[in-house]
A and B are shown apart, each in its own frame.
Chain A
Amino acid sequence: MTINCLICHAELLPLLGWSALFLKEKPRYLCDVCQAKWERINGHTCKRCDRPMSEEDGDTCFDCIRWEKDAVWADCLTRNHSIVEYNDFCKEVIARFKYRGDYILAYPIAEMMKGSLLTIEYDFLVAIPLSTERQYERGFNQSEAIITALGEQSLSVLTRIHTEKQSKKSRAERIHLPQVFQLVERAVIQEKSLVLIDDIYTTGSTLRNAAKLLIEAGAKKVSSLTIARG
């Protein structure tokens, strides 16, 4: 069977050479052309949220300074890790994955995230939950799909109350979100390090809401890993 690129359907030609012969081949999901369209976040970034910034601007971005000044939010989320910039290609892949429901794209996305996950110390991965209604509508939860594709299991400790779609809200509305998450399981997270998995870090308020709840419930540390920094 020929293997095709999951984005452009071009045939993936087998790699030849000694490394292909002797080393366990990494799974390939995208052709070289599509793979090259990801814009990896390299260089100096905000130490909190991974936003790319210039060194003159210090080590924390303006938004994170604001978050951390606020006693309510300070130190809920230790660190966010993002892999790529939210460019047109990434936008298209995530839209196809999440809104069109092309589940299999979780695999190339997770493949990009694997390296970063290795650098984080954690006890459990936690998916950002969807409300029951939204999950029925989409058919699957994109965060859980990424965790499955990472070869791990999501710890189901959160649920979500049904509200309007995030992407339809303005920045101000998103920053001051009421708590939409609920905790269903307290014992298992005590003194544990958790990593929240999601597709994009945009304003960071969804992740902070979830992190705050988990920290207040007794988690030791909560960080997050997302494919894109929007």
Chain B
Amino acid sequence: MRFIVKNNRLHPVYEKTAQSFILSNAPSIPQPQMNTQYPINEDLQTLLQGKQLLHDDLTHPYELIQEHYENGYLQYRKSIAFEKNKPVCRRCGNTNPSLFAQFPCARCQEEACTYCRNCLMMGRVSSCTPLLSWAGPIIPPETIDSPLQWDGQLSAGQKKASNEVTQAIMENKNFLVWAVCGAGKTEVLFAGINEAIRQGKRVCIATPRTDVVLELAPRFKKAFPTIPIAALYGGSEDRHLHAQLTIATTHQLFRFYQAFDSLIVDEVDAFPYSNDETLQYAVQQARKPTSSIIYLTATPSEQWQGECRIGKRAYVTIPARFHRSSLPVPGFTWCGNWEKAINKNVLPSSVKRWLKERIDADKQTLLFLPKISNMKKILPIVQTLHPKVAAVHAEDPARKEKVLSMRKKEILILLTTTILERGVTLPNIDVAVLGAENRIFTESALVQIAGRVGRKAEAPTGTITFFHYGKTRAMVRARKQIVNMNIEAKKKGLIDD
């Protein structure tokens, strides 16, 4: 699609002429005054408010979309802009030149139409693609008197965090909840969300993984049974459902624009820094100019920890688990050049002993390895010790089944890459990391892995061991973080042991 300017308004045209241009080359985009006499299409209003969509996302005729623009109810924005001759994706924030490419485009007839490869899965945006947003009045939300129907109990640590989250949401502030693995972060959100919805605010919980959306949605639907809740992930059916509470993968945030009064970002630490930038961009795009952001994490980055310490970042900690037992502290065991050993089909003796003890006691264990190749090498060796051994990694199609059979106790020892570092709760297991010195095991990854142990009140303890060929800073910091949380919890009287 190309545009021309007529009467200080954009008009779409399909021919390439001297006057017509593609949107990224427009010096500015005029926004017509709102015509209050114009009968708006309510369907379009519902779909577009708080969103940034493409023509392809809508089934409405282009003429109707154009009419809404001409009457001031719809905004066209550039999806790809050029800043200092470098492309920027205005939808996902991508500025990495290697994630842009060009093609001869049938829509604008340009030989080199630039498109963004970073958010391609959400529908391609290119130099000639307009982003569509609603510019008119929004449909006022229904106010519901206290939709929360949950009668569970909060621990003392949760209660404090819950109060502070509620306050941050009410005051439109940014706030960090630093809660140990197994503290019960979800319940901490209930009161704040309840208050927000009572006041007609729109809330979104964003999380990096689809699994978590699928796990959270039914829990929130149970706690808030009377309100519509949209669960958004790649391929979900709620795509166009306008709800006061939205639970979405962070990727889905790319479709939102100034939508939420409160945005709750789960597991901010889950992605390496490079992806973090587009995530931060998506969060900034999706929030309203006046709004609150609540970050949830078990392991804030070093930078954030520093900001907390010097008082630059408002935060609360939940240093203890819901079941009031202290966090298992990782033990370090040097195991020599383990990679060389397994290449000779030998397990380092300390690892072998550790596994044998678990086998003798019939205790289920998770063994983390840095690489898939290591895992393939070690699997047959461990299988000589016991028959019920399996291995999983990210590209394993039988991943879910294997975790399930672990749950059913059909597997005794499960070898895994970092794919199981978070989100998995298996009762009464011991955990070890082989090759903990590998740089894939960051501080946050190691804290998460240690957090797999002792999750359940029935079995609140267990061992976590880092087998290494040289201690790393990440290992030391991870242990320190866990020890500090235990000390803090003890001081505050949140643990009993």
Chain A interface (Cβ < 8 Å from any Cβ of B): 1-4, 9, 96, 100-104, 135-141, 145, 148
Which of B116-124, B165-173, B405-413, B482-490 contacts its partner?
B116-124
Q: A96-B120, A100-B120, A101-B124 are in contact. Are A140 and B103 (CB under 8 A)?
A: yes
Q: In the complex, which residues of chain B have a beta carbon less than 8 angstroms from the beta carbon of A137?
A: 56
The answer for the CA separation of A139 and B114 in the assembled complex, in Å, is: 12
The count of A-to-B residue pairs whose CB atoms sit within 8 angstroms is: 46
Q: 10 smallest A-B Cβ distances: which pairs?
A: A103-B103, A104-B101, A101-B124, A135-B106, A4-B98, A100-B120, A139-B105, A139-B106, A140-B103, A136-B106
The answer for the CA separation of A141 and B101 in the assembled complex, in Å, is: 16
Q: In the complex, which residues of chain A have a beta carbon less than 8 angstroms from the beta carbon of B107?
A: 136, 139
Q: In the complex, which residues of chain B have a beta carbon less than 8 angstroms from the beta carbon of A140?
A: 103-106
Would you call B428 an interface residue if the criterion is a C-beta within 8 Å of the partner chain's C-beta atoms? no
Most chain B beta carbons < 10 A, residue from A2, A100, A137? A100
Most chain A beta carbons < 10 A, residue from B102, B107, B121? B107
Would you call B225 an interface residue if the criterion is a C-beta within 8 Å of the partner chain's C-beta atoms? no
Q: In the complex, which residues of chain B have a beta carbon less than 8 angstroms from the beta carbon of A139?
A: 103, 105-107, 113, 124, 126
Would you call B115 an interface residue if the criterion is a C-beta within 8 Å of the partner chain's C-beta atoms? yes
Q: CB within 8 Å of A: which of B205-227?
A: none
Q: CB within 8 Å of A: which of B76-105?
A: 97-99, 101-105
In contact, B120 and A102 (Cβ under 8 angstroms)? yes
Q: Which of B97, B99, B106, B115 contacts A138 (CB 8 A)?
A: B106
Besides A100-B124, A101-B120, A104-B103, 20 other A-B contacts (C-beta < 8 A): A1-B98, A3-B98, A9-B98, A96-B120, A100-B120, A101-B103, A101-B115, A102-B101, A102-B117, A102-B120, A103-B101, A103-B115, A104-B101, A104-B117, A136-B107, A137-B56, A138-B106, A139-B103, A139-B105, A145-B103
Q: In the complex, which residues of chain A have a beta carbon less than 8 angstroms from the beta carbon of B113?
A: 139
The answer for the CA separation of A1 and B104 in the assembled complex, in Å, is: 24
The answer for the CA separation of A145 and B98 in the assembled complex, in Å, is: 20
Task: For residue B104, give the distance in angstroms from its CB to the closest CB of chain A.
Answer: 6
Which A residue's beta carbon lies closest to that of B118? A9
Q: In the complex, which residues of chain A have a beta carbon less than 8 angstroms from the beta carbon of B117?
A: 102, 104
Q: In the complex, which residues of chain B have a beta carbon less than 8 angstroms from the beta carbon of A141?
A: 106
The answer for the CA separation of A80 and B106 in the assembled complex, in Å, is: 29
Task: For residue A117, give the distance in angstroms from its CB to the closest CB of chain B.
Answer: 21
Question: What are 30 sample pairs from A and B whose C-beta atoms fall under 8 A apart?
Answer: A2-B98, A3-B98, A9-B99, A96-B120, A100-B120, A100-B121, A100-B124, A101-B103, A101-B115, A101-B120, A101-B124, A102-B117, A102-B124, A103-B101, A103-B115, A104-B102, A104-B117, A135-B106, A136-B106, A137-B56, A138-B106, A139-B103, A139-B105, A139-B107, A139-B113, A140-B103, A140-B104, A140-B106, A141-B106, A145-B103
Chain B interface (Cβ < 8 Å from any Cβ of A): 56, 97-99, 101-107, 113, 115, 117, 120-121, 124, 126
Q: In the complex, which residues of chain A have a beta carbon less than 8 angstroms from the beta carbon of B56?
A: 137
Task: For residue A53, give the distance in angstroms from its CB to the closest CB of chain B.
Answer: 27
Q: In the complex, which residues of chain B have a beta carbon less than 8 angstroms from the beta carbon of A101?
A: 103, 115, 120, 124
Q: In the complex, which residues of chain A have a beta carbon less than 8 angstroms from the beta carbon of B101?
A: 102-104
The answer for the CA separation of A104 and B104 in the assembled complex, in Å, is: 11
Which A residue's beta carbon lies closest to that of B129? A139
Q: In the complex, which residues of chain A have a beta carbon less than 8 angstroms from the beta carbon of B103?
A: 101, 103-104, 139-140, 145
The answer for the CA separation of A104 and B121 in the assembled complex, in Å, is: 15
Task: For residue B133, give the distance in angstroms from its CB to the closest CB of chain A.
Answer: 22
Task: For residue B271, give the distance in angstroms from its CB to the closest CB of chain A.
Answer: 14
The answer for the CA separation of A4 and B106 in the assembled complex, in Å, is: 27
The answer for the CA separation of A112 and B456 in the assembled complex, in Å, is: 53
Most chain B beta carbons < 10 A, residue from A9, A103, A148? A103
Which B residue's beta carbon lies closest to that of A102? B120
Task: For residue A127, give the distance in angstroms from its CB to the closest CB of chain B.
Answer: 13
Which A residue's beta carbon lies closest to that of B274? A9
The answer for the CA separation of A102 and B102 in the assembled complex, in Å, is: 9
The answer for the CA separation of A137 and B107 in the assembled complex, in Å, is: 8
Which A residue's beta carbon lies closest to that of B124? A101
Which A residue's beta carbon lies closest to that of B113? A139
Q: In the complex, which residues of chain B have a beta carbon less than 8 angstroms from the beta carbon of A136?
A: 106-107
Task: For residue A149, give the distance in angstroms from its CB to the closest CB of chain B.
Answer: 11
Task: For residue A106, give the distance in angstroms from its CB to the closest CB of chain B.
Answer: 9
Task: For residue B43, give the distance in angstroms from its CB to the closest CB of chain A.
Answer: 22
Which B residue's beta carbon lies closest to that of A135? B106
Task: For residue B406, give the distance in angstroms from its CB to the closest CB of chain A.
Answer: 25
Task: For residue B112, give the distance in angstroms from its CB to the closest CB of chain A.
Answer: 10
The answer for the CA separation of A197 and B58 in the assembled complex, in Å, is: 33
Which B residue's beta carbon lies closest to that of A106? B103
Task: For residue A97, give the distance in angstroms from its CB to the closest CB of chain B.
Answer: 11
The answer for the CA separation of A100 and B122 in the assembled complex, in Å, is: 9
Most chain A beta carbons < 10 A, residue from B98, B104, B106, B115? B106
Q: In the complex, which residues of chain A have a beta carbon less than 8 angstroms from the beta carbon of B120?
A: 96, 100-102
Q: In the complex, which residues of chain B have a beta carbon less than 8 angstroms from the beta carbon of A1?
A: 97-98
Which B residue's beta carbon lies closest to that of A3? B98
Task: For residue A138, give the distance in angstroms from its CB to the closest CB of chain B.
Answer: 7
The answer for the CA separation of A197 and B105 in the assembled complex, in Å, is: 20
Which A residue's beta carbon lies closest to that of B117? A102
Task: For residue B274, give the distance in angstroms from its CB to the closest CB of chain A.
Answer: 9
The answer for the CA separation of A137 and B101 in the assembled complex, in Å, is: 18
The answer for the CA separation of A139 and B128 in the assembled complex, in Å, is: 11
Q: In the complex, which residues of chain B have a beta carbon less than 8 angstroms from the beta carbon of A96?
A: 120
Task: For residue A121, give the distance in angstroms from its CB to the closest CB of chain B.
Answer: 28
Most chain B beta carbons < 10 A, residue from A102, A135, A138, A148? A102
Task: For residue B107, give the distance in angstroms from its CB to the closest CB of chain A.
Answer: 6
The answer for the CA separation of A31 and B107 in the assembled complex, in Å, is: 32
Q: In the complex, which residues of chain A have a beta carbon less than 8 angstroms from the beta carbon of B102?
A: 103-104
Task: For residue A68, give the distance in angstroms from its CB to the closest CB of chain B.
Answer: 36
The answer for the CA separation of A229 and B339 in the assembled complex, in Å, is: 40
Task: For residue A70, give the distance in angstroms from its CB to the closest CB of chain B.
Answer: 35
The answer for the CA separation of A103 and B101 in the assembled complex, in Å, is: 8
Which B residue's beta carbon lies closest to that of A103? B103
Which A residue's beta carbon lies closest to that of B126? A139
Q: In the complex, which residues of chain A have a beta carbon less than 8 angstroms from the beta carbon of B99?
A: 9
The answer for the CA separation of A101 and B107 in the assembled complex, in Å, is: 13
The answer for the CA separation of A4 and B104 in the assembled complex, in Å, is: 22
The answer for the CA separation of A137 and B106 in the assembled complex, in Å, is: 8
Q: In the complex, which residues of chain A have a beta carbon less than 8 angstroms from the beta carbon of B126?
A: 139
The answer for the CA separation of A138 and B113 in the assembled complex, in Å, is: 13
Task: For residue B395, give the distance in angstroms from its CB to the closest CB of chain A.
Answer: 10
The answer for the CA separation of A100 and B121 in the assembled complex, in Å, is: 7
The answer for the CA separation of A140 and B115 in the assembled complex, in Å, is: 13
The answer for the CA separation of A47 and B117 in the assembled complex, in Å, is: 39
